[in-house]
A = this chain, B = another copy of it.
Amino acid sequence: MKIGTTHLFVPGPTTVPEVVRRAMNIPMEDHRAPDLPDLVLDLLADLRRVFRLREGRVLLYPGSGTGAWEAAITNCLDRGDRVLMARHGHFSHLWVEMARRLGLDVVCHDVAWGEGVPVETFEQALRADPSIKAVFVTHNETATGVTSDVRAVRRAMDAAGSDALLCVDGVSSIGSLDFRQDDWGVDVAVAGSQKGFMLPAGLAMLGVSEKALAAAERTTTERSYFAFREMIAANEVGYFPYTPPMPLLHGLRASLDRLFEEGMDDVVARHHRLGEGVRQGVKAWGLELCATSPRWYSDTVTAVRLPGGVDGALVCKIAYHRYRTSFGGGLGQVAGKVFRIGHLGDVNEVSCLGALAAAEMALLDAGVPVEAGSGVAAAQAYYRQALLAEEEAAGSGPWASAGSRTRLAAVR
């Protein structure tokens, strides 16, 4: 029997904030109501603030992030088009697979799982082959906890003189990590509702640049459900071409308000703080990250390598059944070799400490000789210092009395 809260630390779907849950709990509504555009047009405009997209459009489809991958491919490219991709984790692998099944000519660079997109290799490939029509980048590889440098890819493309489209899988980054569609020259950015947007799965999202919109007008790939054109035509007047999931639209409104209230820069800073605390904890355990270098560290998910002979699936099972805590297991090449701690969305410091505490127990039960409490202690130290610094920078927060300020100072 399940007692108490299930502690959810998978890298998506993420905890739905209470305010979002409440907003979704609506009686059903007519999706063709005369005043629906009041809701929809604001949503579409505000989504651009999250994608940091001034021109172009954000499109929403009933579907998952995988559907948004497909929408990017079938709208912006023709069958047979050559695209450049890297494979360095389960989700980049799946995108390569999809691209091939949908008829693209994929030039795939395999990279060690734990590393990010090989920018220099990409630049060389682009120089060598001007026929490449698009570059696909998995911004945050959820399977390995690796964040790649999208801006650098754009620079490499520019350096190589490529006019290919830059398509980015931002499913586990947009809304949590720093992402700048315009500044980074991203043509198609793919997201899903169930990660940084803190909603249930069910909305496939795409940020589409003017250049990509123009490409979509030229391509001839068969497409219907995920076609841009009908969606845009309906969006123009504030509707959808077919029934949208009304609760998710209302939830999205609440989610965007929540993100903007925190401020997108602060959202990014918080994810960095939370992620760094978790990494400090893992370091204290003496375990390795899947990500092989700090430059790849992801602030939304941490994949932890297990010592030889310990099955990551067992760690997850123990955590789930005995400690009511959900971690992500290893996928694909690293199945059984890692377990993953998601720390994105509506998460705070004490939640992360609970995750570390649960992980310590599950690791110990599975036979990994970590020191109980060690990861928690390391993260506590980091969080205390970081929060104090933040409060100091902000003038100590509205609650801090003179007495407490003194103590805060004493704490360092």
Residues of A bordering B, CB below 8 Å: 1, 3-8, 10, 12-18, 21-34, 61-67, 69-70, 79, 98, 101-103, 192, 194, 200-202, 222-227, 241-248, 261-262, 270, 311, 314, 316-318, 320-326, 328-329, 346-351, 353-354, 357-358, 360-361, 364-367, 371-374, 376-378, 380-381, 383-384, 387-388, 391, 397, 399-400, 403-404, 407-408, 410-411
Contact = CB atoms under 8 A, between A and B. Distances in A.
B373 A377 contact: yes
B408 A365 contact: yes
A241 B67 CA distance: 12
Contacts of A383: 361
Contacts of A17: 4
3 closest Cβ contacts across the A-B interface?
A: A373-B377, A4-B348, A354-B354
Given A8-B27, A33-B320, A324-B350, 16 more contacts: A5-B15, A5-B351, A21-B25, A22-B23, A32-B329, A66-B242, A101-B227, A102-B222, A102-B223, A103-B222, A194-B243, A201-B246, A364-B411, A366-B407, A367-B407, A373-B377
Contact of A351 (B4, B64, B222): B4
B245 A200 contact: yes
A219 to B, nearest CB: 13
Chain copies in the assembly?
Answer: 4
A34 B261 contact: no
Given A63-B225, A65-B243, A243-B201, A18 B27 contact: yes
Contacts of A101: 222-224, 227
A372 B314 CA distance: 29
16 contacts: A4-B346, A5-B15, A7-B350, A14-B28, A31-B201, A62-B67, A64-B243, A70-B224, A70-B225, A314-B403, A321-B399, A350-B357, A351-B354, A353-B357, A367-B410, A373-B373
Contacts of A16: 27-28
Contacts of A224: 66, 70, 98, 101-102
Contacts of A347: 3-4
Contacts of A384: 361, 364-365
Contacts of A400: 321
Contacts of A31: 13, 201
A99 B192 CA distance: 28
Nearest to A349: B323
A229 B340 CA distance: 28
Given A16-B27, A357-B354, A242 B65 contact: yes
A219 B322 CA distance: 46
Given A243-B13, A349-B323, A8 B28 contact: yes
Given A3-B348, A6-B27, A200-B247, A391 B322 contact: yes
Given A63-B63, A358-B353, A364-B384, A399 B34 contact: yes
Contacts of A364: 380, 384, 411
A12 B242 CA distance: 11
Nearest to A329: B32
Contacts of A18: 26-27
A358 B383 CA distance: 11
Contacts of A23: 22
A318 to B, nearest CB: 7
Contacts of A227: 101
Contact of A62 (B10, B102, B202): B202
Nearest to A261: B1
Given A202-B62, A383-B361, A399-B317, A348 B32 contact: no
Q: Which has the most chain B C-beta neighbours within 10 Å: A5, A102, A316?
A: A5
A359 to B, nearest CB: 10
A348 B270 CA distance: 27
Contacts of A246: 13, 200-201
